[in-house]
């Protein structure tokens, strides 16, 4: 949910990274954190288990710059990917302005991608949102691994509308900022429409 503060001249928007367990949602945020100047971002908060699996969420505020005299700040969240954390995923989608679905390109994770995407649509509906109307980007992650599904097959299975599709290797940072840019642009364009 967008928050516009005229006194501090700030606009805050919420973007959520969604996807199956171990697809690289946290890695996306870690790369953005490492590659961004400290004055443009806050702390990266990770509520994770002892084995670094996301337990509740990761969070990082990111300031993109000023538009028309207003600071544009994005709050980036990830959800826990593991199936049994569904209650947490629902909570994190509350107030979302844009979603990135991070798909794991490996052949053996295809079913997990499909299940997670259905789960996203269902949980958005439960919060009163419609994926078809929400700023949304599909990221095809882990493109550097040997056992990946061809892009055309992944796209055919996972595409939902005319969403931008970005190939990525989050561990090296490839495609990470392209993904963020694609979703942030849609969120700002929505603000113009509203």
**β-bridge pairing 10-18 and 3-5:** antiparallel
Distance in angstroms between the alpha carbons of the first and the last residue of the chain: 12
CA distances from 150 to 63, 143, 153, 156, 192 (A): 35, 9, 5, 10, 36
The residues facing 1 across adjacent strands are none
16 vs 158, which CB is nearer to another protein? 16
116 vs 186, which CB is nearer to another protein? 186
Residue 130 C-beta: closest distance to another protein, Å: 10
- A 10 A CB-CB count for 57 gives 22
Residue 179 C-beta: closest distance to another protein, Å: 12
Q: Phi/psi at 26 (nearest 5 deg)?
A: -65, -35
28 vs 105, which CB is nearer to another protein? 28
4 vs 156, which CB is nearer to another protein? 4
- The DSSP annotation for 30-56 comes to HHHHHHS-GGGB---EEEE-TTS-EEE
90 vs 143, which CB is nearer to another protein? 90
Binding site for another protein (CB under 8 A): 1-8, 11-12, 14, 42-43, 45, 47, 56-57, 59, 61, 64-65, 67-70, 72, 75, 87-88, 90-92, 94-95, 127-129, 181, 184-185, 188-189, 191-194
Residue 96 C-beta: closest distance to another protein, Å: 8
Residue 108 C-beta: closest distance to another protein, Å: 32
93 vs 158, which CB is nearer to another protein? 93
Q: Phi/psi at 45 (nearest 5 deg)?
A: -95, 125
Q: Phi/psi at 47 (nearest 5 deg)?
A: -95, 90
Residue 42 C-beta: closest distance to another protein, Å: 5
Residue 129 C-beta: closest distance to another protein, Å: 6
């Amino acid at each position: 949910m967008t928050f516009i503060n005229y006194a501090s001249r700030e606009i805050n928007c919420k973007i959520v990274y969604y996807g199956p367990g171990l697809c690289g949602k946290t890695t996306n945020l870690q790369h953005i954190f490492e590659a961004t100047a400290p004055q443009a971002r806050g702390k990266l908060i990770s509520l994770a288990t002892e084995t670094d699996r996301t337990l509740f969420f990761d969070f990082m505020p990111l300031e993109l710059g000023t538009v028309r005299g207003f600071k544009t700040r994005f709050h980036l969240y990830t959800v826990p990917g593991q199936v049994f954390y569904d209650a947490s995923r629902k909570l994190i989608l509350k107030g979302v302005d844009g979603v990135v679905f991070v798909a794991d390109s490996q052949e053996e994770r295809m079913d997990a991608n499909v299940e997670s995407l259905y789960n996203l649509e269902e949980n958005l509906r439960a919060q009163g949102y419609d994926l078809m109307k929400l700023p949304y980007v599909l990221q095809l992650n882990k493109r550097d691994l040997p056992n990946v599904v061809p892009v055309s097959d992944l796209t055919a299975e996972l595409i939902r509308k005319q969403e931008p599709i970005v190939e990525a290797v989050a561990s090296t940072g490839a495609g990470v900022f392209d993904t963020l840019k694609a979703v942030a642009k849609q969120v700002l364009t929505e603000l113009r429409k509203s």
